[in-house]
Structure 1
Amino acid sequence: MSRRRRSNRVRNTKAVTAPPASVTIIEDIEEDEYENHRSCWKHIAYLNTRDSKPKLTEEEFELLKVTAPCFYEECTRRERSRRRVKCKYLVSKLRKKLNSNIFINYLEVLWKKDVLDEKKNSFVYVDCLWFSMYKSENERVRSSVFESVKAKQIFSNEYVFLPIVYWSHWTLLIFCNFGEDLDDDNEKTCMLFLDSLKTTETAQRLEPDIRKFVLDIFRIEGRSEDSSLVDDIPFHAPDVPQQTNDVECGSFVLYYIHRFIENACSFNIDSYPCFLKGDWFSHKDLEDFCNTFDSSGAIR
């Protein structure tokens, strides 16, 4: 009588049930924050908020914590090597999608390099989150913007750069000569809205809120201009160079700032758009800018 051969297959076992614990739901989080959790429950939970798959239940979340625990904080990691690898196939970090933290790091380095002492009275930039915070329905968040505005007196500078990140898209708003009185003889004051993806019509959609933002700043600074004068400030959205994919808007805004600082001395509203045209710079110029930035080692 032949013996029945035992199968090498692993028998099905009952799922391990997790002890009761509070459920952590991960929503609206920057992707970089979880890039180091590639194989643990945190990364799986994060991805679950990003795609169209059926959402995990609370029980499945708890089971993930047991079957895919996170050891990232417990592992000892050596310091990243300072040696930089040069390869023509590497993609610059600046050519990828930038969150607000990374963007401001690049902008601070750019500012130290481009804005020398003789230019500090002409140029100033403000926090890239100011406008989105101003649009918040939370009154406490909005008031924090007004407090910062009052402390900085931003319109005392000739050119004010306001990077805007809204609807996951970066654009640049430049306030020109807002220190001037808004009277009938003023032909210098204007707003420039630079958008590397004009097909989204972001300028038209944001213009009413931008004018309201300006009026609120005037009131905070104690200026007497009424809403009709603010409504008459020219708002220009020139045809500047455009991005060719869906992730480069942040790097375009940084390069817009860099090039405008270089060319500002030749800007004149009477000859608008001046240099603000589709051939202002080439994609090769932007690529060289990004690669030079990365190779400098200023941002790691």
Structure 2
Amino acid sequence: ATNAIAESIYENPRSAFISSLSKFRSLINAEFHLLPEMAKRKQLEIQFIGEDEEGTSCTVTHSTVSASGRFLRNKRRVNARNTRQQGMLNSQQFSDCFEKIWKIFPDNQRASFTYLDCLWFSWYMDELFKEKVLVWISRKHIFTKKYVFVPILHWRHWNLLIFCNFDKPLQSKTQTTCMLLLDSMQMSGPRRLEPTIRKFLLDVYEAEKRPVTKQAISKIPLLIPKVPQQRNGEDCGRFVLYFISLFMESAPKNFSTTGGYPYFMKEDWFAPQDFDCFCKRFKLCS
């Protein structure tokens, strides 16, 4: 079904594509993320009308990939926005703001960090794109950096996964390798992502041809600090961006799960008015 849609984008007229798309409306719920790598570089505005007469608008665009490690290749991006959730950030808004935040920090401060595209984890969870995503990730050599940001968009909710100290051996006695999962809506149960996160980590190691066992991955701590919580159902993406900005400002040179954790990542990490100022600064107000 996905191949048929992609081929219709690439070869057929717009009208033929739109008429055939109703058969595959279920794909929209995952930000229509199965199309980007197969679709032609073209912008399409599509309106899907369901049984309830409420639509989902979808824009197929492409973004330019830098050669400096931010993105490794040209790829099309799909931004889908449900009309009933207009206050949430879509993937393009998230990515645009992240790029602005990233460029604020000088090169020497960015040297300890790297990141994955905000949709790669979502694409990894789809079997059709899983292997492709792992190839892209392997080319970034993410485990040469102390901190790796992995935005997660799942169940229409943004989380932030951070790999810490993976530039050291997993059995290092000086620095503890761990994972942080920052969630601004912990009532949603972020721990349910753990099996997928651990499988993702194992697959990345294997894609990079690094020796590792499933048992070793299972022993890496996944920590979920009690960070400030959002006040509505729309700000999760904005919180993730603010988490990234503040973490880059204050990340310790030697992250330890015993000597300092949770560091600044506490319920009083920042005040609501600080978050509001951040949103206004980057024009993220809902």
Q: TM-score, normalised by structure 2?
A: 0.70
- Is the 1:172–1:253 contact (alpha carbons within 8 Å) kept by the matching residues of 2? yes
Counterpart-to-counterpart distance in 2, 1:294 and 1:180: 38
Match of 2:38 in 1: none
* 1:127 is aligned to 2:117: yes
Match of 1:104 in 2: 95
Q: CA RMSD in A?
A: 2.7
Match of 1:255 in 2: 242
Q: CA 1:277/1:219 → structure 2, altered by over 3 Å: closer, same or farther?
A: same
Shift of 1:101: 1.1
- Is the 2:175–2:256 contact (alpha carbons within 8 Å) kept by the matching residues of 1? no
Shift of 1:97: 0.8
Kindly indicate which of the two structures has a greater share of residues assigned to strand. 2
Q: Which of structure 1's runs of 4+ aligned residues deviate more than 6 A?
A: none
After superposition, residues 56-205 of structure 1 pair within 5 angstroms as 96-114=87-105, 116-138=106-128, 141-183=129-171, 185=173, 187-202=175-190, 204-205=191-192
The one-letter amino acid of 1:211's match is R
After superposition, residues 240-251 of structure 1 pair within 5 angstroms as 240-251=227-238
Identical aligned residues as a percent:
41
Counterpart-to-counterpart distance in 2, 1:256 and 1:164: 13
Q: Alpha-carbon deviations, 1:31-85, whole Å to 9, x = none?
A: 9xxxxxxxxxx98x63x32xx63799xxxxxxxxxxxxxxxxxxxxxxxxxxxxx
The one-letter amino acid of 1:245's match is N
The one-letter amino acid of 2:116's match is V
* Stretches of structure 2 lacking an aligned partner (at least 5 in a row): 1-17, 33-44, 56-85
Q: CA 1:103/1:155 → structure 2, altered by over 3 Å: closer, same or farther?
A: same
State the structure with bigger RCO (CA 8 A, min sep 6), 1 or 2: 1
Shift of 1:150: 1.5
* Stretches of structure 1 lacking an aligned partner (at least 5 in a row): 1-20, 32-41, 57-94, 296-300
The one-letter amino acid of 1:223's match is R
Q: CA 1:221/1:287 → structure 2, altered by over 3 Å: closer, same or farther?
A: same
Counterpart-to-counterpart distance in 1, 2:218 and 2:54: 46
Q: CA 1:197/1:226 → structure 2, altered by over 3 Å: closer, same or farther?
A: same
